């Protein structure tokens, strides 16, 4: 059973949990409390010098960065799964959506929202506009598509939905985008174990946000 070092509420951690549920993999969850500095302890730094979650340890193999982890899990435990198609063009589209998530959508959300939560900064209108620009792009990607990378649920959807669901803790209304709203409800209804793997974490993230704002 692979070990997953994680913190409830983290969108990248939730993406891994969603993928594990979709593959019917049991993970040994190990809590890393970032607020207590668990990620800076010598034993964790030995595993991951970048001191970040999620971190996967699978039979001695250590891997971090959630999008790399979810691709690895499918490659090892779900060979041939539509979650990460092997046909080159189909896989490239999934990869593109994953890169869009980490490099644009999630990054812009983090740049806008995390300084408010963890640093008490005021909302930045320019950063908010960048988030909206990213949502418009995602809405465009989903035009005429059931899922973000084609007709089937993939790890791109699981990563993106972990990000988008985090917006619920903010003042960003992603549901005003019709394609995103439709896709969001579709993934919630079809991703295996969605409530356990993601919604509980979203609730934990909302609780953390509320406590930090106080």
* Catalytic site positions: 10
Render 99-137 in DSSP notation, one character per residue: HHIIIIIHHHHHHHHHHHHHH-PPPPHHHHHHHHHHHHH
Strands 61-64 and 3-6: unpaired
Coil vs helix vs strand at 7: coil
CB 126 within 8 A of CB 149: no
CB 7 within 8 A of CB 53: yes
For 125, 163, 170, 209, the CA distances from 202, given in Å and listed in that order, are 24, 10, 11, 10
For 50, 51, 165, 176, the CA distances from 10, given in Å and listed in that order, are 16, 14, 11, 24
Task: Give me the residues paired with residue 150 across strands.
Answer: 147
């Amino acid at each position: 059973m692979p070990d997953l070092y994680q913190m409830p509420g983290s969108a990248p951690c939730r993406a891994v949990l969603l993928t594990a549920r979709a593959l019917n993999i049991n993970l040994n969850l190990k809590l890393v409390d970032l607020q207590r500095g668990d990620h800076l302890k010598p034993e964790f730094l030995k595993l991951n010098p970048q001191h970040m979650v999620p971190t996967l340890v699978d039979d001695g193999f250590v891997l971090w960065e959630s999008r790399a982890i979810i691709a690895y899990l499918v490659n090892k435990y779900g060979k041939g799964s539509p979650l990460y198609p092997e046909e080159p063009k189909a896989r490239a589209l999934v990869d593109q959506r994953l890169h869009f998530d980490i490099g644009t959508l999630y990054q812009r959300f983090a740049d806008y929202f995390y300084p408010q939560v963890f640093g008490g900064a005021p909302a930045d209108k320019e950063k908010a506009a960048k988030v909206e620009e990213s949502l418009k792009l995602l809405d465009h990607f989903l035009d005429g598509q059931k899922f973000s990378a084609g007709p089937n649920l993939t790890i791109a959807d699981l990563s993106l939905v972990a990000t988008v669901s985090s917006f619920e803790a903010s003042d960003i209304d992603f549901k005003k985008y019709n394609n995103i709203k439709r896709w969001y409800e579709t993934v919630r209804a079809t991703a295996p174990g969605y409530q356990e793997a993601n919604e509980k974490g979203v609730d934990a993230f909302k609780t953390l946000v509320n406590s930090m704002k106080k």
